[in-house]
Amino acid sequence: MQEDAELKKKIRKAFGWDAYDEKDQLNRSYLAKIVFNNTEKLNTLNSLVHPAVFEDYRQWSAKQIEHPYSIKEAALMFETDSFKELDKIIVVTAPINTRLERVAQRDNVKNDDVLKRMENQMSDRERIAKADFVIKNDGKSSLINQVLHLHHHFLDLVKDKG
């Protein structure tokens, strides 16, 4: 949404010039106010963004052959079916209050605005049911230990494949 000139053009056409600021940076708050209050507009944005994201990932992934594995991060992995291209699924969970606080601070929005966004996403229970692995980002469990455990597991999988 920030680098693809053709995608930026499509977003501006669908949502107006205010979708990007005077420095040509994505105006997240402007778009959020539009799409998270209107399912049709959200679907329009997703129909523009997701194909571009998928293609960008495919191009990037094709260049990663020298690495034993790669990891894809995607907030809407299940909602967009992009998980179907992956060998393993890691879901990261965090308590709702922690997520609200982090997103509100990152995007400078109110908790109600974050909750509207979350309403358009699959629940943790549903995501965990589809996951091969779960990382708890709750401030109590060691992220480093969890990530290192998965790293070694993935290296073992690659080694076993020969």
Domain boundaries, the chain: 1-66, 72-162
Mean pLDDT across 4-10: 95
Is the pLDDT reported for residue 105 higher than 90?
no
Give every CB contact of residue 61 below 8 A, 6+ residues apart in sequence.
Answer: 70, 72
Higher pLDDT, 120 or 150: 150
1-66 and 72-162 share one CATH topology? Answer: yes
SS3 per residue for the chain: CCCCHHHHHHHHHHHCHHHECCCCCECHHHHHHHHCCCHHHHHHHHHHHHHHHHHHHHHHHHCCCCCCCCCCCCCCCCCCCHHHHCCCCEEEECCHHHHHHHHHHHHCCCHHHHHHHHCCCCCHHHHHHHCCEEEECCCCCCHHHHHHHHHHHHHHHHHHHC
Residue type, 87: D
Mean pLDDT across 136-159: 95
Mean pLDDT across 105-128: 86
User: Distances in Å between the alpha carbon of 9 and those of 3, 20, 44, 48, 81?
Assistant: 11, 10, 14, 10, 25
Nearest Cα to Cα of residue 46 among 5, 1, 103, 83: 1
pLDDT recorded at residue 104:
85
Is the pLDDT reported for residue 162 higher than 70?
no
Q: What digits encode the pLDDT tens for the residues 21-62? A: 999 999 998 998 899 889 999 999 999 999 998 899 889 999
Mean pLDDT across 2-8: 94
138 burial level (CB within 10 Å; 0-12, 13-18, 19+): exposed
Is the pLDDT reported for residue 8 higher than 90?
yes
Domain 1-66: give its CATH architecture: 3-Layer(aba) Sandwich (3.40)
Q: 82 pLDDT band (50/70/90 cuts)? A: confident
Higher pLDDT, 151 or 78: 151
The CATH classification number of 72-162 equals 3.40.50.300
Token pair belonging to 7:
């995608």
